[in-house]
Each structure stands twice: as C-alpha cells, then as structure tokens.
A and B are shown apart, each in its own frame.
Chain A
Amino acid sequence: MKSMAIVIREDAYDKLLTPLVFAYLASAEQTQVDMLFVNWAVKALTVEGAANLRMDGRHAADEPRVREAVAKAGLPNDVYEILKALKATGCVNMYACSLAGAIFGVDEGNLIPEAEGIVGASWFLNEKAAKADHCQYF
C-alpha cells in the first residue's frame, strides 16, 4: 500500500485514537497518509480543541483510565502530541474541511501549524481519497 486516505468525523477522544493509530502504523512503512478532519473532528486541529477532547456518553467515566492505558502503551495520551508525532513522520498530511471549519470555528488563525491547511471536501475526495490505494472513514 503506497497511499491511504482517512476521513475523520468523530471527535470523542477514544474514537479519535483509532484513525490516528492507523495513520501512525501506515507511516511506519512509508505509506503516504492524507487525513481530512470533518464535522466536529475539525476542532482537533486546534490547540484548544485537541486539549478539550473528551470521551462521550456511557464511556465518559472511563476517560482517566483510558488515558493512563494509552500512555502505558507508549503513545502520548494528549491528542495534539500524537498529531505532532504524525507530522514528524513526514508521511502524514492533515487537512481541515472548509465547511467544518466554517461551522465549528476553525480558521487559519487557530489551525495548528502541523496541519497542511483548510481545503474543500471535493478536492480531498477527488485528489486524495479517490486516488489513494485505500480509504477509511471514522
């Protein structure tokens, strides 16, 4: 697999872990990974948003234990630190959906520098998702 595209919609801390881990794994074999953050998940591409990610609903009370287990597994348990690690691989590009940015309050002013930028979903779907060897939606 030479390339993978990932679209992330969920913004709960625990639900965000899986696509981030999959991207990390793919980068370990030099697979090019392009990630589009849509809907609420776009907030993860801001410092404040990443810091405020929480686990939802019936799993909410388990968050401290989950964060501890994530750290024990060797991953940073802070999402922004994981995003920095992904960027540092040189294989992962992260994009904010322009519509999601407009709705949920993410613009060039608060977008983390590790993100490539704010893009239209059409561009991502045609130029990244449709051309990737594999595409995943979370």
Chain B
Amino acid sequence: MREFTVTSTLDTSGKCCPMPIVETGKAMKAMATGEILEIIATDKGTQKDIPSWCERTGQTLLSMTEENGVFHYHVRKDR
C-alpha cells in the first residue's frame, strides 16, 4: 500500500528519449513543492534516466516499479 498520494499522472507510454524526461521536467514545473508526480513509461531508458534526473534536479524518487514492460515512477517535487 502506498504511503503517499499522487497529485498528477504523466503517461509517456510509447514515447522514447528525450520525451519522458522533457515531459517530466515540464510537468514538475507546473507542480508545487511536496506534490507527487506519477510517471508511466515504456522506454527502458527511463530506468536510468528518471533516477538520474531526480538526483540532479533535487527531486525525490519515491518508488520505481515495472510490470510487463511498463514502468511506474513516483517523484516528489522537493525544489
């Protein structure tokens, strides 16, 4: 069971680099500190890209799961 509430969801299914990262950056800009973005992706590159992007931009990756080739990320906006 999740210990957080998703504020908004970004579905990038079918899209490839750079769009999941570009769209995540845009979505985060529109959010307030403390809010949580759920990102859905099918691009395997996001497995490295999303955690790395979070680290460099000061956001917190709360969870990362994969099921049948679909990745779900939960990112909290911290700055």
Cβ contacts A to B, 12 pairs, < 8 Å: A1-B56, A21-B17, A25-B18, A25-B21, A25-B22, A27-B25, A28-B26, A73-B19, A74-B12, A74-B14, A75-B18, A75-B19
Give the complex CA separation of A75 and B43 in angstroms: 14
A12 to B2, CA, bound (A): 48
| A24–B57 CB distance below 8 A | no
A29, CB-defined interface residue at 8 Å? yes
Q: For the complex, give the distance between the alpha carbons of A130 and B42 in Å.
A: 38
Tell me if B24 counts as interface (CB < 8 A to partner A). yes
Contact among B12, B16, B25 for A29, CB-based, below 8 A: B25
Instruction: Tell me if B's interface is mostly helix, strand, loop or mixed.
Output: helix
Asked if A30 is at the interface of the complex by the 8 Å CB criterion, the answer is yes
Asked if residues B56 and A24 are in contact (CB atoms below 8 Å), the reply is no
Interface residues of B, count at CB 8 A: 16
Interface residue tally of chain A, by bracket?
10 to 19
Q: Is the CB of A72 within 8 A of B21?
A: no
Q: Enumerate chain A residues within 8 angstroms of B56, measured Cβ to Cβ.
A: 1, 29
Known: A28-B26, A72-B14. 18 other contacts (CB 8 A): A24-B18, A25-B17, A25-B21, A27-B22, A27-B25, A28-B22, A28-B25, A28-B53, A29-B57, A30-B57, A73-B17, A73-B19, A74-B12, A74-B15, A74-B16, A74-B19, A74-B23, A75-B19
**Residues 57-87 (chain A) with a chain B CB within 8 angstroms:** 72-75
What separation, in Å, do the CA atoms of A74 and B18 have in the docked complex? Answer: 8
Closest Cβ of chain B: how far from A94's Cβ, in Å? 17
Give CA–CA (A137, B42) in the complex, Å. Answer: 30
Which residues of chain A come closer than 8 Å to B57, judged between CB atoms? 29-30
Contact A73 B16 (CB under 8 A): yes
